[in-house]
Amino acid sequence: MSEFIDSKDQSIVSLLQKDGRMPVQSMAKALGLTRATVTKRIDKLEASGVITGYAAVVREDFFHKKIRGWVMITTVPNREEGAIRAMKLISEVSKIYTTNGRWDLAVEVRAADLESFDTALSKIRQVTGVESTETNLLLSSRIGK
């Protein structure tokens, strides 16, 4: 994508990620923009491929993704944000955290089976900006769900 995405575009995308059905008028009010401006920016984001679609957010257990694990990631310097954006598009990635210390990112992966988990892990390792990974499967919970 060659078009420049500014902070207003990022804010629109963020709002849509939280609520894909949020009315344009509500976004405009929240961002201090006109409805026409928000509509034009959404159209641009869709046309340029930044927004590739809209999806329903469902309960964590809806798809019975029983295999869970943490992928600890070291990124190439100054490539972390691009890597995060790319990993958000991987359906098995459920959470992404920035960290300090040895690893730059901690990514929770949820999959239906080990093969799907392995496929997701391969996708993560192919993301531009990912330098190295360490994966840990979660075996059992000792508290909560």
Sketch out the chain's domains with CATH numbers: 7-47 (1.10.10.10), 67-138 (3.30.70.920)
What's the confidence (pLDDT) of residue 131? 97
Distance CA 135, CA 145 (A): 21
DSSP secondary-structure letter at 103? -
Do residues 70 and 34 make contact, with C-beta atoms less than 8 angstroms apart?
Answer: no
pLDDT in tens, 88-135: 999 999 999 999 999 999 999 999 899 999 999 999 999 999 999 999
What's the confidence (pLDDT) of residue 104? 96
- The pTM for the full model equals 0.57
Nearest to 71 by CA among 27, 22, 119: 119
